[in-house]
Amino acid sequence: MTQSKACAVALTISYLLVAASAGNFYSDVDITFGGERAKILSSGQDLSLSLDQYSGSGFQSKHEYLFGRFDMQLRLVPGNSAGTVTTFYLSSQGAGHDEIDFEFLGNSSGNPYTIHTNVYSQGKGNKEQQFHLWFDPTAAFHTYTIVWNSQRIIFLIDNIPVRVFNNHEAAGVPFPKSQPMRVYASLWNADDWATQGGRVKTDWTKAPFTASYRKFNANANRVGPNSKSTSSKNENQAWSTQDIDAAGRNRIRWVQNKHMIYNYCKDSKRFPNGLPVECKRSRFL
């Protein structure tokens, strides 16, 4: 079996192993903007967000969390999605906020989506990595996952790790670990920058643009008003120490070698005085 076929088989197996457990959007989230452009469907199992020339739409989790595993299945805007941005991310609020981002930057028909990832801590980001996918994210649902614990943040697609951001506080690199975050999702217009640096604009004759969400699952430490965890003691807490094993390292190398299109740790023009400290300490950033 060739290496490419072996990778394809591994990716297929990993997709089949993605957990199917899910919550209910009626009980788990609040619509935050867009009015009727955001629709909860199928008795709370599905949710769609739409964008037109007047507004986008979005939602947030009812609860705040401090560490956990967060899964969401998405089917992105099909066809000509240029100028649109679909998101699934965690964020705290206020000055010096923390944030962990999955952003999906649309493109003109026939061109691939750009998967944009970033990590903010204490209000500072600038840790972007971007990827093109090995599948069409508009043809079917795929699972996007953020694992967040005190040692690292892992970004996964169909249970395949694509990025790891390790805790390097000992080297002076801030790491999000003390501010509870909510889960957010949105669909909005960003044609001033999202597609080919803003050169390709949104074609409003194609509106409304619609992205679909389902099977949201937060296996996480829920934080209540008294700042104590309200998660079940019976929950699987494997995420609390989750790391990348040998098989995961092979997969992340494959993804980053074949599908990464931008890595801030290789952008010496952006950092003329030297790359960020963490770039010298871990290959998988």
Task: Annotate 59-106 with three-state secondary structure.
Answer: EEECCEEEEEEEEEEEECCCCCCCCEEEEEEEECCCCCCCEEEEEEEC
For the chain, the average pLDDT equals 89
Of 142-156, 204-218, 224-238, 247-261, least confident by mean pLDDT is 224-238
pLDDT tens readout for residues 160-189: 999 999 999 999 999 999 999 999 999 999
Say which residue, 241 or 191, is predicted with more confidence: 241
In a domain, 98, yes or no: yes
Task: Please indicate, yes or no, if residue 213 is contained in any of the structural domains.
Answer: yes
- Mean per-residue pLDDT for 46-75? 97
- Cα separation, 256 vs 239, in Å, equals 23
The predicted pLDDT at position 6 comes to: 46
Minimal CA–CA distance to 183: which of 46, 28, 77?
Answer: 28
Is 70 exceeded by the pLDDT of residue 34?
yes
Percent above pLDDT 90 for the chain: 79
Number of domains in the chain: 1
Pairing of strands 209-223, 64-75: antiparallel
Q: Rounded CA gap, 284 and 252, in Å?
A: 8
In the prediction, which pLDDT does 115 show? 97
Chain centroid offset of residue 8 CA: 22
Banded model confidence at residue 192, pLDDT cuts 50, 70, 90:
confident
Residues designated as active site: 99, 103
Residue given tokens 């990348």 in the structure block: 244
**Does residue 272 fall inside a structural domain?**
yes
At 14 the pLDDT is 39
Q: Is the confidence at residue 79, as pLDDT, over 60?
A: yes
Mean pLDDT of 27-39: 97
Tell me the C-alpha distance between 33 and 183, whole Å. 15
Confidence of residue 22 (pLDDT cuts 50, 70, 90): low
Residues 163 and 155 sit within 8 Å (Cβ to Cβ): yes
CB count in 10 Å sphere of residue 130: 17
pLDDT computed for residue 20 by the predictor: 37
Three-state DSSP at 27 gives: helix
| 280 pLDDT tier (thresholds 50, 70, 90) | confident
Is residue 166 in some structural domain?
yes
Q: Is residue 229 part of a domain?
A: no
**All residues at 6 or more sequence positions from 190 whose CB lies less than 8 Å from its CB, including other chains:** 83, 84, 85, 105
Q: What is the rounded average pLDDT of the residues 87-96?
A: 95
How far apart CA 11 and CA 54 sit, in angstroms, is 39
Two tokens at 121? 């801590």
**Within-domain flag for 82:** yes
Q: What pLDDT is attached to residue 241? A: 94
Confidence (pLDDT) at 199: 82
This prediction has a pTM of: 0.89
In a domain, 92, yes or no: yes
* Consecutive H or E run containing 258: helix 246-259
Does some domain include residue 125? Answer: yes
Domain interval for residue 154:
25-223+240-280
Helix (H) or strand (E) holding 48: strand 46-51
Task: Name the pLDDT band for 220 (thresholds 50, 70, 90).
Answer: very high
CATH assignment of the domain containing 190: 2.60.120.200
Spatial CA neighbour of 29 closest among 42, 37, 40, 43: 40
